[in-house]
Amino acid sequence: MVNYSRYFLKTKSTQLNIDTMGKKFTTVDLFAGAGGLTEGFKMAGFETIAANEIVPTYSETYKLNNPNVKIFTEDIRNITVEQFKKECKINGKKVDVLIGGPPCQGFSMAGMRDPKDPRNSLFMDFIRFVDGLKPTFFVMENVPGILTMKTAKGEKVIDLICKEYERIGYKFKYKKLHAADYGVPQKRKRVIFIGTNTNKDINYPKPTHDKEAYKTIEGKQIKKWVGAETILLPKNKVPKNFFLSEKMINGFIKRREQNKKKGRGFGWQIIDPKTPCYTISARYWKDGSDALVKYSDKEIRMLTPKEAAAIQTFPQNFKFFGSKRDVYTQIGNAVPVLLAKAIAEEIKKSLD
């Protein structure tokens, strides 16, 4: 039996009204979802002035947490940059950083990786908006699979991205970052593209955490990765409906054995509370097999939405709109807030 500790992450949403230097840098968030990226940039002192998202339910979440930001709820493929600026009333406003995570389903190693998937071209819309809004920096987030993905013509997607940014006059770097290295209690790797059309530095945040806590980076002591136990609710506080039925547990065991015979991985993943949680995907709502809490062979449960949000380092007071399924999906889609904050702080240094 595992004894889970009972405290939640102390990441409060810090809303800086006035930047210490008297200047607030601005962001526009595309493919905003619930707003994980926005939240991290907000914590670092940025002000988001406009956003875009196709799914109305996700936009509602975004509005609940960012009531002063105009979010244009529309398929980005149907809107021009001029329409976006007009609708969001940002004509004439300088955009310091354009942020966004074009959908990655098509690129994801866990997904189909279908080169014909039209969603694969949504990053082209992101580039179109970089060209139109001319931000000083852009931050484009994606899954590691984007680095090996090929188009239907056999061209590497990453080469295409290089060509496109070069064409519009932006230099950029990309790097795979591990969320756990920035204090997120989750193993989640994401590729972060950072670009600029100026001669400002493009730097990535230095890790603050590591698997082992023995290193120092530039004189700073690295902390040990944060374990999932820091956000798990005590067993007696978890509603019964999050526990798997005997039928579901037997189904998982059967699937695991079938997979084993075929030489494939397990059908489910049990969280080790002492280490960061497995990646929470947008499909978590289905059966929670990404990451389950086990007390005994008969007592296995899913993470509650509140716990899943804490795994993604959303502040405790963050509100989600929609059904249970919608909420898990928005959480699984998000950029971990503390990872976004670390990236934002590094960009702020270059902008200052």
Chain contacts with ligand SAM (rule: CB under 6 A): 31-37, 52-55, 58, 75-77, 101, 103-104, 122, 333-335
CB atoms within 10 A of CB 241: 9
Phi then psi dihedrals of residue 194, to 5 deg? -125, 130
Residue nearest to ligand SAM (CB): 36
Nearer of residues 272 and 345 to ligand SAM, judged by Cβ: 345
| Minimum distance from residue 197 beta carbon to ligand SAM (Å) | 22
| Minimum distance from residue 11 beta carbon to ligand SAM (Å) | 15
Rounded CA-CA distance 104/120 in Å is 7
Nearer of residues 74 and 210 to ligand SAM, judged by Cβ: 74
Nearer of residues 301 and 329 to ligand SAM, judged by Cβ: 329
Rounded CA-CA distance 310/275 in Å is 15
| Minimum distance from residue 26 beta carbon to ligand SAM (Å) | 17
Rounded CA-CA distance 345/140 in Å is 16
Give the contacts of 68 (CB within 8 A, at least 6 positions apart). Answer: none
| Minimum distance from residue 206 beta carbon to ligand SAM (Å) | 22
The CA R_g of the chain, rounded to the nearest whole Å, is 21
Rounded CA-CA distance 81/72 in Å is 12
| Minimum distance from residue 256 beta carbon to ligand SAM (Å) | 29
Nearer of residues 78 and 236 to ligand SAM, judged by Cβ: 78
- Give residue 45's Cα distance to chain centre: 19
Nearer of residues 244 and 343 to ligand SAM, judged by Cβ: 343
Bridge partners (DSSP) listed for residue 172: 195
User: What SS3 class is residue 323?
Assistant: coil
Instruction: Output DSSP code: residue 259.
Output: H
Residues with active-site annotation: 104
